[in-house]
Copies of this chain bind each other. A is one copy, B any other.
Amino acid sequence: MAESPDIDILARGELFRGVPVEVLRELHAASFRRKFPAGETVFQQEDAVTTFYIVVVGRLRVTQTTLDGQQIIIRYLGPGDVVGYAALTGAPAHPGAVTAVDDCHLIGMPAPMLRDIMSRNSRIAMNAVALMGERYQDLQLRLRELATEKVERRIAHTLLRLSQQAGRRTARGIEIAFPLSRQDLAEMTGTTLHTVSRTLSGWEARGLVDSGRRRVIIAKPEALAEVAEEV
């Protein structure tokens, strides 16, 4: 199994699960490692799709920007996640930008090569369909939240979701394990940094969270879940 650490990483990711080792070897032969220091951009919105990545370590942020410069955060990516799903679907350009929020290590490979191997290997294609389905459901959920819930509940839901994906147990509670500013939370929940700040201050006073400069710790997850679900 452990013929190469990278092959192991690929085999554990959602996309290449259950794929024969010889296919993984073929993929690995064409792949390369690349580091992105915090703040660096992997690709911009509208960039041509040339390369496909899998996250090894670190967090990345997927954003979309409007013509008038307003930005929203579509999602965060972490270890095992696919970066640049457009390489799977065959879209010519990236619909969003991806930026490292941490120092990141990615495994990259040429997009056409992935498409080629996928078309010869239905297991990968089936995995890709399942993966896209999950991401679609995520967005459906967020759309519903944005359409039906008030800001406070949206922020609560968002924090709880982030704590699932990237939570780290600490003495003071569950810490979101990457830098997360008020502005970031605002761009995830469709509000302003001011409102996020006020909301967190309120929770802080009630002891629900413990937050600071680009850092959020959920002190009482159950209580926050109540905020998220209350009518």
Contact = CB atoms under 8 A, between A and B. Distances in A.
B72 A129 contact: no
A140 interface: yes
A136 interface: yes
Contacts of A133: 85-86, 88-91, 132
Contacts of A134: 89
A89 B134 CA distance: 8
Contact of A120 (B68, B72, B90, B122): B122
Contacts of A231: 68
Given A72-B148, A140-B96, A89 B130 contact: yes
A149 B68 CA distance: 11
Contacts of A96: 140
A144 B65 CA distance: 8
Nearest to A71: B148
Contacts of A89: 129-130, 132-134
A147 B72 contact: yes
Interface string A104-138: 00000000000000111111011011101111110
B144 A66 contact: yes
B88 A148 contact: no
Contact of A146 (B90, B137, B143): B143
Nearest to A130: B89
Nearest to A64: B144
A90 B130 contact: yes
A139 interface: yes
21 contacts: A64-B144, A72-B144, A72-B147, A74-B140, A85-B136, A89-B129, A89-B130, A90-B130, A90-B133, A95-B140, A119-B122, A121-B122, A122-B122, A125-B129, A132-B132, A132-B136, A136-B136, A139-B143, A143-B143, A147-B187, A147-B190
Closest 10 CB pairs of A and B: A89-B133, A147-B190, A125-B125, A132-B132, A139-B139, A70-B148, A122-B122, A128-B129, A72-B147, A146-B146
